[in-house]
Every structure is written in structure tokens, then in C-alpha cells.
Amino acid sequence: MEGAGYKEFKFNDSVNKEIIFIDSLGRERFVVYDDVFKRYESLFFVLMRAFEQAAIGKGNERHANGLPFDEQIICTALKNHGAGGNTLQICKKAEEIHNLDDIEAKKHELYGVINYAAGLIRAYEMEEEQND
């Protein structure tokens, strides 16, 4: 079962929902209550636009080389070169927005910041998984 699903539960006699995100191996990866999701929905969609840039936009076109995210240099650089590459890209992109007038261009650079940070986070997670 891939994607997200709902599970209803009762709390104080009111019906609530959990949103459950399932990974491609069928593992429950993330659970959030429906009312919390509603309060953070705008954040979710910003993160989804960053995902879109990485998966089907500039990130995929220029950097993926047909590889899964975890095998791309954005995630493997930590093991081979340390965290400096990703942190440099994060800083560079954050600085570049000050030289841009177009709001769409600024957002595009900031999605890149999110994606480079996500790559670094995944690299640390994979390092932890190897040490377990």
C-alpha cells in the first residue's frame, strides 16, 4: 500500500482522523492527526512544490541521472566529501535570492535550499541506518 491513508479513531467522544503516510515498502512512516494537518497544510504544499522541483523539475533534469534520490550525489556527498557541499549550496542559494527581483525565481531558489537540506538529512538517516 503506497501513499497516504486515513484511519478514524475516537477521542473524547469525537471522531478524529489520522493521516498515515506509507512508504513503497508498506512501512508506516509518518502519522499526523487531521486537525494538525489542517493547521500546517500550507507547509505541506510548500514541501510538495520542493519535491516537485527535485522529482520532475530542475533537480531531475540536471542531477538525477535516472537514479533514486538516495543514490544521487545530493545524498551520497556526505559519505564521500562531508556535509560541506550541501551546506555550501544551501548558503549560496539563500544568498542568491537577495539579488533576484522576481518572486517566482526567489521561490525556485528556496525550493533548492529545501532539497539540499533534505539530501543532507537523508544522508544522515542512511548513516544511522548503516550503524544500526
124 is written with which cell numbers? 544522515
Mean pLDDT of 71-84: 86
CA distance 73 to 64: 8
For the segment 111-122, what is each residue's pLDDT rounded down to a tens digit?
Answer: 999 999 999 999
d(CA 67, CA 32): 30
Distance CA 79, CA 123 (A): 8
Percent of the chain with pLDDT over 90: 39
Flag whether pLDDT at 127 surpasses 80: yes
Percent pLDDT > 70 in the chain is 80
Q: Residue 115: phi, psi to the nearest 5? A: -70, -40
Average pLDDT value for the chain = 82
pTM of the model: 0.77
Is residue 27 predicted with pLDDT exceeding 80? no
Backbone φ and ψ of 114, nearest 5°: -60, -45
Q: What is the identity of the amino acid at 47? A: L
